[in-house]
Amino acid sequence: MELSPGLFQPVARQGSEAEAIVRPSVTYGQDAWRRLKQNRAAMFGLVLIIVLLILAAVGPYFVPYSYSDQDLDRTGEGPSWQHLLGTDLHGRDQLVRILYGARISLTVGIFASLINLTIGVVYGGISGLAGGKVDNIMMRIVDVLYSIPLLLYVILFMVIFQPGLQNVLLAIGLVYWTDMARIVRGQILSLREQDYVLAARTLGARQWRILMRHLVPNALGPIIVTLTLKIPEAIFTEAWLSFVGLGVSAPMASWGSLASDALSSIRSYPHLLLFPALAISITMLAFNFLGDGLRDALDPRQRR
């Protein structure tokens, strides 16, 4: 079929309105935040995390007891107006001890996240960018560290040093960055052959500048998601170590140690185990909800 010019009609232009941009442009971060706000579970988790941080920071100052105050006339009491979460077997207020336990658990989670972000990103980035024998040797070191159970590290630190929270922090700092290093290495291996990396090398950019200026920012999505999901894992690890007696020691209060103390009297005083277990569960769920939401929001394939 032959097309004649009469079949076509020019569209009338309406001045500057024809070239106006109807939809405003948004950055990657703004689009990710918009999609994160649409995820109700993620926003619920974010609100819970903010509330937990506020309660851990200022909550103990609004309770008229300290975590070591004892009232032997009110041992094992259930929740009341005087003690909102009851008292333990030594007459200590359960609410203030759970708030102090939140400080310990969140401190461990933040410490683990800083270790993940610092060592994991740098180690995995160097390994992925260098490649070859350097990459092979560095990954075998990670495999060796990953193969040794965390419990052995804690026992070793307890033999060398005094038992307590510092041993848990050291043990977590030694092994919790290995997963991050593997993920960052995989991202760098897939990004280092991109055209913008070749252009940076052509212009004379050094390897460290290429890594920190070009490669790591383009891998921020998986890094942030892994960072968020590793925090509840570290919190649960500290609670488990304290539960078996390898974490914080008395009179310090930890969610794991509170649950361990309540286990022997669970039939008579179930509230002593209920509230620390709820605190651990709510915290882990909040971080997992936020991590799942960030994973969806930071995925470039889901941008619309």
pTM: 0.79
In the predicted structure, residue 11 carries a pLDDT above the cut 70: no
> pLDDT tens digits for 224-257?
888 888 888 888 888 888 887 777 776 677 888 8
Radius of gyration for the chain, computed over Cα atoms and rounded to the nearest angstrom: 26
Please, what are the domains in the chain?
31-69+83-302 (1.10.3720.10)
Provide the percentage of residues in the chain whose pLDDT is more than 70: 89
User: Are residues 113 and 232 in contact, defined by beta-carbon separation less than 8 angstroms?
Assistant: no
> pLDDT tens digits for 72-93?
777 777 788 887 888 887 788 8
> pLDDT tens digits for 116-151?
888 888 999 999 888 889 989 999 998 888 888 877
Residues in contact with 72: Cβ distance below 8 Å, sequence separation at least 6, in sequence order: 90, 91
Pairwise CA distance, residues 150 & 176, whole Å: 9
Where residue 65 falls among pLDDT bands split at 50, 70, 90? Answer: confident
Pairwise CA distance, residues 292 & 41, whole Å: 9
List 87's β-bridge partners, or say none: 93
**Distance set, CA 25 to CA 11, 28, 36, 296 (Å):** 26, 10, 18, 20
